[in-house]
Amino acid sequence: MTNIKVVNMSGAEVGSIELNDSIFGVTPNEAVLHAAVRAYLLNQRQGTQSTLTRTEVSGGGRKPWKQKGTGRARQGSTRSPQWTHGGIALGPKPRSYRVDLNKKTKRVALFSALSAKVAGNEMIVVDTIAPIANEKNGSLYNTKGMIKMLAAVGAAKKTLVVLADNTAEVVKSFANIEGVKTTQVNTINVYDVLNCDTVVFAQGAVEKIEEVYAK
């Protein structure tokens, strides 16, 4: 078992937590990580690009010139691909880029990504990530407060914040901070984990992950 310190929102150490090695202590599988990242990026593609073929371009109904006797190459339409304003030959059409991974591969990839962050000292556990009241108006939507919190716990500029539940005030307070992204335990993905410099976990999120995935 790996022990990692737990801090509060002010950056003070308040204890430690024992991480399950079957989730946070595995040897990263680079091949599986590559497959998971590739699948994630491909699945973000809408696949809606579409070019017009010669049958879809307007015009071109009349034969440009007669078939024989002009000394020029025979042409049947001004909308053929070789003509300016003609159709596109073999251009992209709407399609699905979706790639599916099986459940076991997804788990191995997630465990590998989390373990890599722990091994690289790029994971921070905060006891509770709660809304911070604004000193001026008492509002719980407080971006400046969350910026101070991230600085206090030692988070890097590019940070993924993993929450145990969807608290609107917390999510919206992080929303306008450049380089910071929030997610929940049930929506965490390998790409987001690898694409940040620091992962900040609420302690409750760590406990939920271990509850769901621990063997």
Give yes or no: residues 25 and 61 share one domain: no
Give yes or no: residues 136 and 183 share one domain: yes
Indicate the residue among 96, 114, 129 that finishes a domain.
96
Give yes or no: residues 143 and 198 share one domain: yes
The answer to whether 105 and 37 are in contact (CB under 8 A) is: no
A 10 A CB-CB count for 11 gives: 16
Q: Which domain holds residue 38?
A: 2-44+98-213
Give yes or no: residues 32 and 86 share one domain: no
pLDDT digits (tens, 9 = 90+) for 155-198: 998 999 999 988 899 999 999 999 999 999 989 999 999 999 99
Give yes or no: residues 108 and 121 share one domain: yes
> What's the whole-number mean pLDDT along residues 54-59?
93
How does residue 138 score in pLDDT terms, banded at 50, 70 and 90? confident
How does residue 137 score in pLDDT terms, banded at 50, 70 and 90? confident
The answer to whether 110 and 188 are in contact (CB under 8 A) is: yes
Give yes or no: residues 134 and 83 share one domain: no
Indicate the residue among 33, 63, 96 that finishes a domain.
96
Give yes or no: residues 54 and 145 share one domain: no
Q: For the whole model, what pTM was predicted?
A: 0.83
CA–chain centroid gap for 136, Å, is: 35
Q: What confidence score (pLDDT) does residue 107 get?
A: 95
Give yes or no: residues 37 and 138 share one domain: yes
pLDDT digits (tens, 9 = 90+) for 64-119: 999 999 999 999 999 999 999 999 999 999 999 999 999 999 999 999 999 999 99
Retrieve residue 68's tokens.
């024989």
Give yes or no: residues 31 and 67 share one domain: no
Retrieve residue 71's tokens.
């000394």
Give yes or no: residues 136 and 186 share one domain: yes
Q: What confidence score (pLDDT) does residue 139 get?
A: 84
pLDDT digits (tens, 9 = 90+) for 4-35: 999 999 999 999 999 999 999 999 999 999 99
What is the CATH classification number for the domain harbouring 157?
A: 3.40.1370.10
Q: What confidence score (pLDDT) does residue 215 get?
A: 62
Q: What confidence score (pLDDT) does residue 134 get?
A: 81
Q: What confidence score (pLDDT) does residue 118 get?
A: 95
